[in-house]
């Protein structure tokens, strides 16, 4: 593979990964606005939970609805629609003066997040050479984390800009959204989708740019054969069949527990958590930016170790670290030892453990365990379950924090981590070093 081909693949993968960056930015930017939109709109705990989680409601709809447009219009055009939704959401929510309007635009942004969470990694996987696919798909996860960090940093920079600071926090997302929309004009369509629609000649031109002539011809033949097989057997009925049920439940369990172990409750409500222990609003937003930095650093750790240590050992070590840090946080709240930076340090320990394990490994495993013919359909079910878990948890977390207190809230997440650890040790197979076809024989035919 020549340097020109490598750079071309890296360029178009980077463009697609902007969808992941916006995914991370849009889900995290709300955290910095919560101390300000709560008094502006007069929100109680339930309404604050709904206002923050409304984006996740849109995500669920986006994931469910992304498949059909991407099959009809193509991955590229559907991603452009997502970029447009991000742009409209940024401007609309920043200008909103009524709660209903604000929530409506956040739901529109959620549609974009849902579409991007499905199609950005799918597009990258469909356009990447086999030998670089894992690394390039992981690049999308890295972009998500960078988006989260950028949201936290921009919130920290804008927190002292006056009474309209929360409007600027939301509006700034329009810049990467516009860039994403423009850059997609320069990205090719997915060769796989082109073959599905009978445009094999156009698909070959793109594959040739990526792989060179000889490899492109072989790749095109494999895609054509794979498409033919999928049209015969790749149905949702087969996804829910008895032989697929154990592996589907495995994917759903991982996705759900990646959320109910507390990560996004901490990410979205970090300023609220810090304010609950006496931090000023501006200080709380700054401490949240520090958390975003830790998230980014330890995502690099996960990417570097996932193929060397294996998925299962990384999960066991990371979840154990999460249990230790959550137990310590709950104890600190119970003993009222929340002064200084103790909670910040313990949350950073939790973030490091999560980012180096569950955060990246969940997406890797879910993309590996399903048979080729059913991967997109089974993944969509798993990802919908992820967003549903995220939605309900974010909806009720302010109420949990205020009614049950910090100790009980973090103890709940601690218990979920224990269940995830037991599941990983007892049920989860190691997928490192096995081809997708080998995994299909191990996981599906034996189940």
CA distance 276 to 288: 14
pLDDT at residue 436 in the model = 57
pLDDT at residue 175 in the model = 92
pLDDT at residue 413 in the model = 93
Tell me, rounded to whole angstroms, the distance of Cα 124 from its chain centroid: 15
φ, ψ (nearest 5 deg) of residue 221: -65, -45
CATH assignment, 1-187: 1.20.1250.20
pLDDT at residue 447 in the model = 45
Contacts 24+ apart (CB under 8 A), 302-305: 302/355, 302/356, 302/357, 302/359, 302/360, 302/361, 303/135, 303/138, 303/141, 303/142, 303/360, 305/356
The CATH T-level fold of domain 234-447 is Growth Hormone; Chain: A; (1.20.1250)
Is residue 102 within 8 A of residue 47, CB to CB? The reply is no
pLDDT at residue 170 in the model = 93
CA distance 78 to 84: 10
Q: Please tell me whether residue 189 adopts helix, strand or coil conformation.
A: coil
Is residue 204 within 8 A of residue 217, CB to CB? The reply is yes
Which residue ranges does the chain devote to CATH 1.20.1250.20? 1-187, 234-447
pLDDT at residue 89 in the model = 94
pLDDT at residue 185 in the model = 93
CA distance 235 to 239: 7
- Angle at Cα 431 formed by Cα 428 and Cα 436, nearest 5°? 125
pLDDT in tens, the chain (447 residues): 577 777 888 888 889 888 889 888 887 888 788 888 989 999 887 888 888 888 888 888 888 888 778 878 988 999 999 999 999 999 999 999 999 999 999 999 999 988 888 788 778 877 777 666 656 767 777 888 888 888 888 888 898 888 889 999 999 999 999 999 999 999 999 888 888 888 888 988 988 888 788 888 887 887 777 666 555 556 778 888 888 888 999 999 999 999 999 887 877 666 667 766 665 555 666 676 787 788 788 888 887 887 778 889 999 999 999 999 999 989 988 888 777 678 888 888 999 999 888 888 887 788 778 776 777 778 888 888 988 888 888 778 878 888 888 889 899 999 999 999 999 999 888 877 765 556 767 787 544
| Backbone dihedral region for residue 198 (phi beyond 0: left; psi -120 to 50: alpha; all else: beta) | left
DSSP 335-387: TT---TTHHHHHHHHHHHHHHTTHHHHHHHHHHHSS-GGGHHHHHHHHHHHHH
Residues near 20 by Cβ (< 8 Å), separated by ≥ 6?
A: 116, 117, 120, 121, 140, 141, 142, 143, 144, 147
pLDDT at residue 279 in the model = 58
Question: Which single residue is written with the structure tokens 């452009």?
Answer: 80
Is residue 154 within 8 A of residue 24, CB to CB? The reply is no
CA distance 337 to 330: 10
Q: Tokens standing for 261?
A: 């172990």
CA distance 47 to 356: 33
3-state secondary structure 103-133: HHHHHHHHHHHHHHHHHHHHHHHHHCCHHHH
User: Which pTM was predicted?
Assistant: 0.75
DSSP-H helix ranges across 234-336: 236-239, 245-260, 263-276, 281-305, 311-334
191: nearest Cα among 164, 227, 144, 160: 227
What dihedral angle (degrees, nearest 10) is formed by the CA atoms of 353, 358, 361, 365?
160
Q: Tokens standing for 254?
A: 């991982």
Q: Tokens standing for 84?
A: 């447009």
281: nearest Cα among 410, 150, 399, 169: 169
Report the first-to-last Cα separation within the chain, whole angstroms.
39
């Amino acid at each position: 593979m020549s340097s020109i081909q490598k750079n071309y693949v890296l360029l178009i993968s980077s463009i697609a990964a902007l969808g992941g960056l916006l995914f991370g930015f849009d889900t995290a930017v709300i955290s910095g606005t919560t101390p300000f939109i709560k008094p502006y709109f007069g929100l109680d705990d339930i309404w604050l939970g709904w206002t923050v989680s409304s984006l996740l409601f849109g995500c669920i709809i986006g994931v469910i609805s992304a498949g059909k447009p991407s099959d009809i219009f193509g991955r590229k055009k559907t991603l452009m629609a997502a970029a447009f939704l991000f742009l409209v959401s940024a401007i609309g929510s920043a200008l909103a003066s009524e709660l209903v309007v604000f929530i409506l635009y956040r739901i529109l942004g959620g549609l974009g997040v849902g579409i991007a969470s499905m199609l950005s990694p799918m597009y990258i996987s469909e356009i990447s050479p086999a030998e670089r696919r894992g690394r390039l798909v992981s690049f999308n996860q890295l972009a998500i984390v960078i988006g989260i960090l950028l949201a936290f940093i921009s919130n920290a920079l804008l927190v002292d800009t006056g009474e309209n600071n929360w409007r600027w926090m939301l509006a700034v997302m329009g810049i990467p959204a516009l860039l994403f929309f423009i850059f997609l004009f320069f990205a090719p369509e997915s060769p796989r989708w082109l073959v599905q629609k009978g445009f094999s000649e156009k698909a070959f031109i793109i594959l040739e740019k990526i792989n060179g002539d000889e490899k492109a011809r072989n790749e095109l033949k494999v895609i054509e054969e794979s498409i033919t097989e999928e049209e015969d057997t790749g149905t949702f009925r087969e996804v829910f069949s008895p032989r697929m049920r154990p592996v589907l439940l495995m994917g759903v369990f991982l996705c759900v527990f990646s959320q109910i172990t507390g990560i996004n409750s901490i990410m979205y409500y970090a300023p609220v958590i810090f304010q609950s222990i006496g931090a000023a609003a501006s200080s709380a937003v700054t401490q949240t930016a520090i958390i975003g930095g830790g998230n980014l650093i330890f995502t690099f750790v996960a990417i570097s170790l996932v193929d060397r240590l294996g998925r299962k050992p990384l999960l066991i070590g990371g979840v154990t670290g999460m249990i230790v840090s959550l137990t310590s946080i709950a104890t600190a709240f119970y003993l009222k030892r929340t002064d200084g930076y103790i909670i910040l340090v313990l949350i950073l320990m939790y973030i490091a453990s999560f980012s180096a394990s569950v955060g990246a490994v969940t997406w890797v495993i879910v993309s590996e365990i399903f048979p080729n013919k059913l991967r997109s359909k089974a993944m969509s079910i798993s990802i919908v379950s992820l967003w549903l878990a995220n939605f309900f948890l974010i909806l009720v977390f302010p109420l949990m924090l205020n009614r049950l207190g910090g100790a009980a809230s973090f103890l709940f997440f601690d218990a979920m981590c224990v269940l995830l650890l037991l599941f990983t040790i007892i049920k989860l197979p190691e997928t490192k070093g096995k081809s997708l076809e080998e995994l299909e024989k191990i996981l599906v035919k034996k189940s």
